[in-house]
Amino acid sequence: MNLAEALNAALPELPARRARAGFPKLDPDLIASENVEDDEPVIVAMIRGRSNIFRFTPQQWHIIELFDGHRSWDDVADAHVELYGVRYSVDDLREFTSGLDEIDFWYKSPLEKNIALQQKLESSRHDHAHRKSKFDVAHMQFSAWDPDRYFDRIYPWLRWAYTPWFAAACAVMFAFMTWIFVVNWSYIGTDSLQFYNFTQKSTADLAEFWILFLVLAFFHESAHGLTCKHYGGQVHAMGFHLIYLTPAFFVDVSEAWVYASRWQRLVTILAGIGIEMIFCAVATFIWWGTPAGSDIHDLAYKIMLITGVVVVVVNMNPLIKLDGYYAFSELIGFSDIKEKSTAFLSQLVRRHVFHLPVEVDFVPRRRRAGLLIYAVLSGIYSYALLFAVLRFCSNVFAKFSPQWAFVPALILGLFIFRSRLRTLVKFMQTVYLDKRDRVRSWFTAPRLAAACVAAALVLLVPLRHQTVSARFLLEPARVAVVRSVVPGQVVGTAVREGQLVRAGDPLLYMTNTQIMSETASSAEQFALTGIRRVRAQLAYGDLGAALEDNTRARIETALTADEAGHLTPQAPIDGIVATPRLSDLVGRYVDAGTTLAEIYDTRRMRARIFIHEFQVARVTRGARVTLLFDGSFRPDSAFVEGIEPGPDELPAAVESIRQAQGGSKLTYYVADVVLQNDGSLYTGMTGTAKILIRRECIARFAWRTVGDFVDRKIW
């Protein structure tokens, strides 16, 4: 038991009648200012050191300012008649001050503060009794210094930042920054996303990132506070929270809502993003003007990535409570749109979907559609952001243990979603208690038996298709590679890329002086030996030797003619020329074996399906496959013709999947599927294939999933 709890248990109860000593009194730390909201005068007030902001009509404020701690309710009624000519009854004034006392508006003496502390301790003890853990890693706040003197010192030196000429200079810098980003977006955009993928960063990179982040965050919050000071407010709180052990800086600029107008409050909200954009613009100019590889060049680029597009887009998003949300609230004049929209949607779902007896808050008809749309979009974005954090953590843990990375990610997910899970459990309990009697009365013996039979059918009847999903890459069914058989110089081309050719059509024209000379010489020798053979026959000479020389010359002529024929490479199959820029070969000397051209027979296409190693055992020859090409809505069907091990270097369509698996090394097998091409299929097309294995029941699927999990993670 701690000291506060011991004192709370030991000390006697303070009498309730001493809860208020004397009459209501304005707090000395109260500040107030008259603003115009919706064309109506409003008195905005707050007590320094607190976060509550109060809004009163001028008539209400005339009554409030008369309470000085000495006037009774009768004295206030008399004074109000003298000043404003309107008398209020004592009962009305007591009820009015009582309502303000409930929202902790009036000044409290030390005794009253002790009573409030006692009640707070009792409430805290009650909360702790119902809460298992007192340590909340989701949100920890640390006390910080009072920064008002800091802003008083720096404001005279930085007052020029709120002049028109500086705003014009910033506009010029932002335009230059935008131009640089647009021109170099091909790699700045990619680097901005990869910069926040910490799976490839070393410890030094992480330390450098956090140092830059903390420094820039300090300037971000200082810009909010300095702007609040510029518009007449004071700043008495500046520090940071730990949200899921991640520092999140804050500054209290509540007084801007007292002294500043709507547009001045909007400037205060956007000042943080403005200073980050100034840093980004300066860093962009330095990066643009310094040589690549220098330290200042690299540092400027990292500042660009930290303060660039990603941060601005996230901060300006009105769907979560960051600067963009508060700016959006100021523009629409709706201070708590997230809470009200979420509550309104929840109440509608509880009442009209689950038919629970809940009251739906009144919302004007013109606002209902907007609140519902905002609630849905905000919920989707918030949960997507949380799931993205979990996926990022899973990738980080996968660097150390790909097999068990899901365990810390699951634990982190339970920490993040534990409050939502508790809310879901309570809601399910409420639905159960509300529907229990009705459901029990409906489930008579015959209906219960019918429900059991239906459940058994759903679990045991093999209605579900067991499938294996994988990426595929489309290739021609037949590919012919034409290589030079003999060396020579290319002197001309007969075809071009994409041209349809028949088997035997010439592709290139080559020349080789030696081969052509040997061909001419062998032809001449064959002719001479033929003449000698004829003479020997006529003169009854040595016919055998003449025949032998003639035969040898004929063979040499055939060989040299064949070599000369290879100087004109021909298409081996019907197909399309796939080699680009064949004309670039003209004038080049190529050696024997050099690849000259490729011919694709695209009348039939082969889909190469890359299947993970743990799934390949389920795939058999002849299995039916459904292929859905990227960007298409009409699937094609075919059958598996063969399975073979995949290559070490995978195509980009599959390599990207490998990199998304937490960095673990995956092994693939390739299943071949042949499709008839109607002219709509092209080489290099990708998509997703579903291989139908067999039908199975839900119970078998669940059993197989659990068995696979045990085999992979335990055995």
pLDDT surpasses 70 at 469: yes
pLDDT, position 165: 93
Q: Where are the beta strands (DSSP E) in 210-302?
A: 238-243, 246-251
| C-beta of residue 181 within 8 angstroms of C-beta of residue 308 | yes
Where does residue 174 rank: exposed (0-12), middle (13-18), buried (19+ CB within 10 A)?
Answer: middle
Q: Give the pLDDT band (50/70/90) at residue 659.
A: very low
Q: Are 569 and 507 in contact (CB under 8 A)?
A: yes
How much is the pLDDT for 2?
44
Q: Residue 259: its pLDDT value, please? A: 75
Name which of 578, 595, 596 is nearest 500 in CA terms: 578
Which is higher by pLDDT, 463 or 472? 472
CA gap 487, 513 in Å, rounded: 10
The pLDDT of residue 6 is above 60: no
DSSP class of residue 243? E
3-state secondary structure labels for all residues of 490-558 = EEEECCCCCCEECCCCECEEEECHHHHHHHHHHHHHHHHHHHHHHHHHHHCCCHHHHHHHHHHHHHHHH
Q: Each residue of 121-170: pLDDT tens digit?
A: 454 444 444 444 444 444 455 555 678 888 888 888 998 989 999 999 99
pLDDT band at 216 (very low <50, low <70, confident <90, very high): confident
Two tokens at 708? 């696979």
pTM value?
A: 0.57
Q: 503 pLDDT exceeds 70?
A: yes
Contacts of 657-663 with CB under 8 Å at 24 or more apart are 657/471, 661/398, 661/402, 662/199, 662/394, 662/395, 662/397, 662/398, 662/399, 662/402, 662/405, 663/199, 663/395, 663/398, 663/399, 663/402
pLDDT exceeding 90 applies to what percent of the chain? 3
CB atoms within 10 A of CB 460: 12
The Cα–Cα gap between 505 and 574 comes to 9
Select the more confidently predicted residue: 47 or 8.
Answer: 47
Q: DSSP per residue over 457-471, as a string?
A: HHHHS--EEEEEEEE
Q: In Å, how far are 43, 82, 172, 598 from 335, measured between CA atoms?
A: 16, 37, 33, 67
Q: What pLDDT shows up at residue 595? A: 84
pLDDT value at residue 613: 77
The mean pLDDT of 491-509, rounded to a whole number, is: 86
Percent of the chain at pLDDT above 70? Answer: 82
Flag whether pLDDT at 354 surpasses 70: yes
Q: Is the pLDDT of residue 48 over 50?
A: yes
Strand partners, 509: 492
**Which domains does the chain carry?**
3-129 (3.90.930), 140-335 (no CATH), 338-442 (no CATH), 467-474+603-713 (2.40.30.170), 477-590 (no CATH)
Confidence of residue 366 (pLDDT cuts 50, 70, 90): confident
* pLDDT surpasses 90 at 537: no
Query: Do the beta carbons of residue 271 and residue 169 sit within 8 Å?
Result: no
Residue 309 is encoded by which pair of tokens? 């597009």
Quote the CA–CA distance of 285 and 469 in Å, as a whole number: 48
Residue 20 has pLDDT above 70, yes or no: no
Whether 274 shows a pLDDT value over 50: the answer reads: yes
**Please, how many CA atoms are within 13 Å of residue 421, restricted to the half-sphere of its CB?**
6
How far apart are alpha carbons 250 and 225 in whole angstroms? Answer: 10
> Three-state SS for 486?
coil
Whether pLDDT at 655 is above 60: no
Average pLDDT, the chain: 78
pLDDT recorded at residue 143: 52
pLDDT of the residue at 134: 45
Quick check: 270 pLDDT over 70?
A: yes
Query: What distance in Å separates the CA atoms of residue 524 and residue 584, rounded to the nearest whole number?
Result: 36
Instruction: Report which listed range, 139-153, 368-382, 394-408, 689-703, is most confident.
Output: 368-382
Lowest mean pLDDT among 44-53, 81-90, 436-445, 608-617: 44-53
* Stretch 40-47: mean pLDDT: 80
Residue 478 in this model has a pLDDT that exceeds 80: yes
Side-by-side strand order, sheet with 238-243: 140-141, 238-243, 246-251
Distance from chain centroid for Cα 472: 25
- Highest-scoring range by mean pLDDT, 129-133, 576-580, 706-710: 576-580
pLDDT of residue 168: 93
pLDDT-derived band of residue 527, with 50, 70 and 90 as boundaries?
Answer: confident
Residues 687/632, Cβ–Cβ less than 8 Å: yes
pLDDT higher than 70, residue 664: no
- Residues 685-699 have a mean pLDDT of 82
* Residues 681, 623: Cα–Cα separation, whole Å: 22
